[in-house]
Amino acid sequence: MTPNLEQPKTIEELRNWFKENGYEPATTRFFAGVDVRSPKAFGVYKNEFGEFVVYKNKADGTRAIRYQGEDEEFAVHELYQRFQEEIINQQTRWIAKHRADGPVPVFIYDSEPKPKPVSRVHVVLFIVLAFCSYYFSLQFFLWLQNSRGLNLSIIPYTAPIVVMAFALLAFRAYIQNQSLSQSIKSMPKSFKKGCPIFLMILVMISVLGDINPQHNGYYSINNQLYYRAGSNWYHYNDYSDDWNRSYNVPSAFTSSNWEDYQNTSSHHGSYTSFESTYYYKNWKTDSSSSGSSYSNDDDHDWSSNDWDSSYTDWNSDW
């Protein structure tokens, strides 16, 4: 994603931002540095008088001018913010199109378990493998989150469970001289009864959302203000008096001392409440609907390749 905390400030930076993030102008209909005259297009360019023009060509071919002046950074900001809104619109429409109610698959194992004698050595190895697979994978994900400043949400605490379960299944298959699929089919009834309950607990944690060692809310450092909303971070731009998505945050926010920064004390001056932004409303909407069943033919998250310009409102002025 974007290589820095700041949003693009020049037309060239915006053009590079589109390219780096996989947004093709021909698909999105957002153009940086081009005066497109055909219908259904957004853009910003510098005219022959040295003015920066932000425009929208509507479906009927008429043009609405959003801004025309000498401030390039403001002009780029206007188009960039409109593009961020359109991303949310694209994601919302895509999810609504692909959402479908369907039964949760239930796997039934036909064969009865075939217990085999297990030695003390096997028991010891089983315990050691369980501890090592969980502990080292947990440490890896925590290192990845803290050293790289990544927002992994609950992944560092759920992924090790999956790693440990897979390791133990593989070990069980090994000592019983079975394939992994045969070992799974021969699981004891007690395990088959307890496994769905365990999975339901993980699902409930995910549905409740944002349950992790850190909390949502405001963070500040060196007069810079941020807001954590689930696994996403947002940065307050004092110049434009607006909030922007941040793809990289100070490592202090994901360190063991993160609570020291969960405040607004280091930010001087006034700021617009994050709770009044469409980012916040979209996050809350996603959180409230995360428990509904969802499936799609492609089985993937939305990406720039799923962009459909027909979802864009081409009749409004902006």
- Which of 37-41, 261-265, 288-292 shows the lowest per-residue confidence on average (mean pLDDT)? 288-292
**Range name among 102-116, 202-216, 278-292 with the lowest pLDDT average:** 102-116
Is residue 231's pLDDT more than 60? Answer: yes
- What's the pTM value of the predicted model, to 2 decimals? 0.41
**Could you tell me which of 180, 154, 185 has the C-alpha nearest to residue 168?**
180
Residue 200: per-residue pLDDT:
67
CA–CA separation, 18 vs 80, rounded Å?
10
pLDDT in tens, 169-212: 787 777 777 777 776 777 667 766 776 677 567 546 544 544 44
Q: Which position has the higher pLDDT, 120 or 290?
A: 120
Show the beta-strand stretches assigned E in the chain.
Answer: 30-32, 41-46, 52-57, 63-69, 217-221, 224-229, 232-237, 242-246
Confidence (pLDDT) at 288: 58
Counting residues of the chain whose pLDDT is more than 70, the rounded percentage is 74
List Cα–Cα distances, 1 to 18, 166, 228, 229, in angstroms.
10, 32, 18, 18
Distance CA 116, CA 174 (A): 12
pLDDT of residue 171: 76
- Which of 24-33, 59-68, 226-235 has the least mean pLDDT? 226-235
- Inter-residue contact 168 to 184 (CB < 8 Å): no
Segments making up each domain of the chain, as ranges: 1-102+293-318, 120-208, 217-292
The predicted structure's pLDDT at residue 166: 79
Radius of gyration of the chain (CA): 25
C-alpha–C-alpha distance, residues 205 and 141, integer Å: 18
- Read off the amino acid at residue 1: M
Most trustworthy range by pLDDT among 15-19, 112-116, 134-138, 205-209: 15-19
Q: For the chain, what's the residue count?
A: 318
* Mean pLDDT along residues 295-309: 66
Of the ranges 35-49, 234-248, 261-275, which is most confident? 35-49
- Cα separation, 151 vs 253, in Å, equals 10
Contact 39, 59 (CB under 8 A): yes
What average pLDDT does the structure give for the chain? 77
Query: Which pLDDT score, from 0 to 100, does residue 50 have?
Result: 94
pLDDT (0 to 100) of residue 265:
80
pLDDT on residue 101: 43
Q: Show Cβ contacts of residue 107 under 8 Å, excluding neighbours closer than 6 positions.
A: none
| Residue pLDDT, tens place only, 78-108 | 999 999 999 888 888 888 877 654 444 443 4
Question: Considering the chain, what percentage of its residues have pLDDT values greater than 90?
Answer: 24
In sequence order, what are the residues at sequence separation of 6 or more whose Cβ sits closer than 8 angstroms to the Cβ of residue 243?
Answer: 227, 234, 235, 236, 237, 272, 274, 277, 279
Which pLDDT band, with edges at 50, 70 and 90, does 301 fall under? low
pLDDT at position 115 is 47
Q: Amino acid identity of 227?
A: Y
Sign of the Cα pseudo-torsion (304, 10, 317, 82, in order): positive
pLDDT for 178: 73
Q: What are the pLDDT digits (tens) for 129-184?
A: 778 877 887 788 777 766 555 556 667 667 777 777 778 778 777 777 777 777 67
Nearest alpha-carbon partner for 236 in 219, 253, 250: 219
